[in-house]
Structure 1
Amino acid sequence: MLRVYIFLLLFMSTEESGAEIDLVFALHTPSVMSAADLSYTVDFLYEITSRLTVGTNNSLVAVLTYSKYVTQHFNLSAYLSKEQLLPALLAVKSANRTDEESNSNEVLDSIRTQIFSKSRTTSAKVVLLTLLQGPQIPIRTEWAADDLSSTYGNALLTVGLDSLTENDKNLLNTIAKDDSRAFYVSDFKYSCHIVPNVTNLIDSAADTSLVDDCPDPYATEITTVAPSTKDDSILLFVIGAIIGTLILLVGLIIAFKCVKGNAEKNLRVLRAIEVYGEARLGTSKGSFCNEDLGKSEEIESTKRQRLALARNFSNCYVLAWHKNR
């Protein structure tokens, strides 16, 4: 029975300890990469790392980003526990994306000359390289991958976009040396789907279950437009009231002018008749205008007004008034 317990303890400790692996993430971050794509890519690396056993006798992780230049975010010995490593990995989401070039050969050379040169001699070496757009001189990347593999005998995994040219895809397949170690995704948003396979190639003893809530790249997104909660009835009522008021004012102005014009015309006729009626029978119009009206004691302005009214009446208004009766 004691032997059984000892065997179980040794077996469990072996399963929990994981393999001794020096893992390097080489993340391509050109200027064409959006902040969202960078975030999805880091989440992809985070999911892989969270499934590994991290420690001095287990897996150690280093992270580099590259485009025109290579940036080392931390080396293999920087974080010796998962509690330290995972937050540091998430911080890579703020990496610079300022250059369009893709010098993947330089990042592979940096891994060979700087990262693995200080790594554990007994550890397995694994490099995961992501690529958004192909390098300007692909053969240099192929040479750098060959130098890295021949020096450390490492496994090189690649992840690229489906939108890469056939030449770029051939390059990734060549440096991975096996099509099963070259992965392609339509968008890094869906890279969570390849986490189990990539994790298994890094450490076959690690968890290779599916990622929870991983979005389906073939699902049709239904966009619903929420109804507007803003009440426009008051605004429409105010606009309608203003328009109605303006129309009413215009109508009143037109009516007032018509009434005023007719009233003034009728008033002139009636005043002319009144003035004419003051003349004696048989009195000529000239005598009325010059003598009878002139003898009135009214003020001069009134005289002129009544004289004009009488003349107008004489000339035209009497005839018009009789016709309209």
Structure 2
Amino acid sequence: MPLTDALTPDALLEAKAARPDRRARDLATSLGVSEGALVAAAVGRGATRLAPHPNDLMPAVATLGEVMALTRNDSAVHERIGQYQEYHPGDHATMVLGPEIDLRMFPKHWAHAFAVVEEGESGVKRSLQVFDAAGDAVHKVHLKPASDVAAFERLVAALATGDESRDFAAEPRTPPEGAKLREDKMDLLRKEWDRMTDTHQFLRLVSKLKMNRLGAYRGAGAPYAEPLAPEAVSAMLEGAAAEGIEIMLFVGNAGCIQIHAGQIETIKPMGPWQNVLDPRFNLHLRADQVAEVWRVWKPTQRGPAISVEAFDAEGRLILQCFGKRKEAEPLAWNAMVEALPRAVEAPA
């Protein structure tokens, strides 16, 4: 449903009150507005506009103690309990490098931020919610019972902008790019791919060649990238849990990437959702929206890095997963990935 300005802030709050069981993102979609518009409607009624740049927010979030960090895209939700530690500021990119909460943030997409205080089933809920210019959620911080409420109140007082507007002028969403490849550059791509010494060099390489991640995977061929069956993602999660393999699982959007490092234990499919439901880490994946999966090989100074990467039907990256590196090569992870089901047909 296209976004519309037909609903006033009061009408949005009435619709939210009438459907307290609906998740904000789903309710906003059903109403034809952005989730950011739904939150903005509550400004002065439990929501407060904050300075959105992570250089302002993240040091203050670190004072809250134990919280839950949430980053999502259309097909996956990544939730991690822990403390925000070791913030690295920047203009183009910033990082949180804690042992539990591990983030890569891109400030140009942090357009709006709100502190939200609302009644929930088990009492008052407090959160910090960041949205991009289109009103789509970039990152959220949910306070837990052990969080420091006084620190939250100090954060709001320090970072409140004073803007009492309840309207949200959502900009158009950037359309999905789809796969971009250059047939005339494939030999050069493979040659430069072989020369990589770090996985972070990959996006610079494909950008230089006027391609993107998915286009490079489709064009490079084995051993660089091999297509797996869509069900390989669930098989990967189940295999990692069954074998006790430590993984690094990335879920993100244009403004934030959130990383879980460690084991996963409890896998529970529920309808179209595949879920990891561990005490301090949850993943919620719409398995039915996984259209392409790739096994990807990249050389590094510490040996090959093997990843499993899932994309939706429009070519958007849903998640990436690597074996967690220790001193030795992650042999158990590599062997498990080799056994995952291959695609019946390679994507066009």
In the superposition, the TM-score normalised over structure 2's length comes to 0.19
In the superposition, the TM-score normalised over structure 1's length comes to 0.20
Q: Which has the higher helix share?
A: 1
Structure 1 or 2, whichever has the larger Rg, is: 1
Q: Which has the higher strand share?
A: 2
